Each structure stands twice: as structure tokens, then as C-alpha cells.
Amino acid sequence: MVAHSGLLTVMDRAARKAAPRLRRDFNEVQHLQVSRKGPADFVSMADKRAEQTLIEELRKARPDWRILAEEGGELPGDPDKPRFIVDPLDGTTNFLHGIPHFAIVIAVEDPNGAQGKPEITHGLVYQPLTDESFWAEKGRGAWLQDQRLRVSSRRDLSESLIATGIPFMGHGNFAEWSRIFGAVAPEVAGIRRLGSAALDLAWVAAGRFDGYWESDLKPWDVAAGMLLVKEAGGFVTDYRGQDMAMQRNQFLAANDGLHSKLHKLVANALR
């Protein structure tokens, strides 16, 4: 059992403050008549309202920190201080369709991390409908509530459940994704596409998924989840197996035993 740091408590409190309204809006969206514009506008309002609450709460606690938010972009602050990276609703398409799988995501990036480079130090993926709070702090492990997380211990690809994100609406390279899928699918127990990158990574950290791949994501989709996987003892690399996931915008995550096997399949598929 470990206590949050003060900063993680701030993040957790902000997410829990935004959650009730998001839950109410989710229940509403399931009952909305399909109006002229459909429920998409309603969901985009819900998204913006949740972001506003998060920003207000985070600003109250750390007034001089910058905030990068999915909807609002970059809010100014002290460049020498850390910044928050916020996604008020990861899994928007699920939310819009009444599928109960989405999360509020908050990460903290220190501009002067190891080797003087920016580094993610805190991550929170909060699932409002299950009240699950996945969180990680650099060097202090990954946690679900007060329970320590560890990536799965599966060593056989044939027993592994792998998550992915399928390119959508012109985002990402479908031919590349297809080649990877063609190489991975026959070797594993199953593939899942659940529609929230942040939860996919949190679930790799929790050992629910054994691995995950996706490309063409935004920092707010992956910053918190990558820290969760690493602090749970897993690996996140690009498709070449290098520590360049953010730079190349390719994310290959897995437990320590499966990562190199999965990476070989992916590398072969892309040769």
C-alpha cells in the first residue's frame, strides 16, 4: 500500500470532479433522439465541459503550470515548471455510441527530466463508469487504486491477448496496420480494438492485455499510459524496438517476456 504524492492527489481529485457530469452526459447520450446534427454536438459539449472542470481544478492547485489540453490546446505558464497534458474524454467514439469504455487522462511532463530532456513523471487514467483509477509515478510504480500493478507474466505468444488501434478516418497508415495485423493475428490468442489508447495501455500495465500496438496518436492519448506500462515492468518502444515511441509516433507495448517476440513479428511484417 502506498500513498499518492500530493500532485497525484491533485490529478485524481480533478478527474473525480469532472466525472459525475461526464457520467450523466453519457447516460443522456444513450437516450438522445437522433436530431438533425445527431448526438455528436452534444458529445463535443460534454467533452469541453469536462475539460473546463479539469483545467479549473488543475489551475487552482498549480496556477503557474502550463496545460496542454486536447480541446483547448496549449495554455501558457512557466516554461521551467512541469506541464499538465490532459485528455478529458479518451474513447470519444465509444461515448458517442453509448459504449461504456472511455477515460479521463492526465499526465505531468517535467521539462528537465533525465538527461535534461522532457520526461513524463506522473500519469492518471481514470475510468468514470467503473471508478477505476490507474496511476503511476516515475520510480514509484504503477497502481490501480491502492493495488500495485505488474504486467502479465505470459511468455507464449499463442496465449497472449493483444490490443491495437485501427487507423480511422484518414488517420494512420491502414496498409501498414494491415501488414502488422496479418503477421500478429495468426500467432496470438486474440486481438482487441476497444477504442481508447489510454485504457489499452493502462490494461497492459494491469496485465489484462499482454501487448498493444498503434501509431499516429497524440501525446494526451499515450503519455500517462506509457508511464503506467513502464512502471508496471513492461516495455514501450517504436516498431523497431527502440526507445523512440513518441518521436516516431509508433507504440509497441508488451510485458518483458513478450516484447521482443512481438517486435520481431512487427519488424518482419514491415520489412
User: Which spans of this chain sit near Ca ion (rule: CB under 5 A)?
Assistant: 87, 90, 221
Partner from Ca ion, ligand 2AM, none contacting 91, C-beta within 5 to 8 A by type: ligand 2AM
CA–CA separation, 136 vs 232, rounded Å?
9
* String of DSSP letters for 190-212: EEE--S-HHHHHHHHHTTSSSEE
Tell me which residue has cell 465541459: 49
Q: Quick check: 195 binds ligand 2AM (CB under 6 A)?
A: yes
Nearer to ligand 2AM, 88 or 234 (CB): 88
Q: Quick check: 87 binds ligand 2AM (CB under 6 A)?
A: yes
Q: Check: CB of residue 182 under 8 Å from CB of residue 206.
A: no
Q: Check: CB of residue 158 under 8 Å from CB of residue 14.
A: no
User: In this chain, which stretch among 110-118, 152-160, 190-198, 236-244 interacts with ligand 2AM, using CB under 6 A?
Assistant: 190-198
CA–CA separation, 248 vs 96, rounded Å?
30
Nearer to ligand 2AM, 154 or 253 (CB): 253
Q: Quick check: 51 binds ligand 2AM (CB under 6 A)?
A: no
Measured at CB, which residue is nearest to ligand 2AM? 165
Question: Total binding residues for ligand 2AM by CB under 6 A?
Answer: 14
Helices (H), the chain: 6-31, 40-61, 92-96, 174-184, 197-205, 219-231, 245-248, 259-270
- Smallest separation, CB 211 to ligand 2AM (Å): 16
Q: Quick check: 39 binds ligand 2AM (CB under 6 A)?
A: no
Count H helices, E strands: the chain? 8, 13
- Smallest separation, CB 213 to ligand 2AM (Å): 11
CA–CA separation, 143 vs 94, rounded Å?
25
- Smallest separation, CB 176 to ligand 2AM (Å): 14
- DSSP character at residue 66: E
- Smallest separation, CB 3 to ligand 2AM (Å): 29
C-alpha cell at 5: 504524492
Q: Give me the phi and psi of 225, to 5 degrees please.
A: -65, -35
Partner from Ca ion, ligand 2AM, none contacting 151, C-beta within 5 to 8 A by type: none
User: In this chain, which stretch among 51-59, 61-69, 83-91, 144-152 interacts with ligand 2AM, using CB under 6 A?
Assistant: 83-91
Question: How are beta strands 211-215 and 161-164 bridged, if at all?
Answer: parallel
Taking CB under 6 A as the criterion, the residue among 1, 34, 114, 169 binding ligand 2AM is 169
Q: Quick check: 128 binds ligand 2AM (CB under 6 A)?
A: no
- Smallest separation, CB 5 to ligand 2AM (Å): 26
Helices (H), 97-190: 174-184
Binding site for ligand 2AM (CB under 6 A): 87, 89-93, 165, 168-169, 195-197, 214, 221
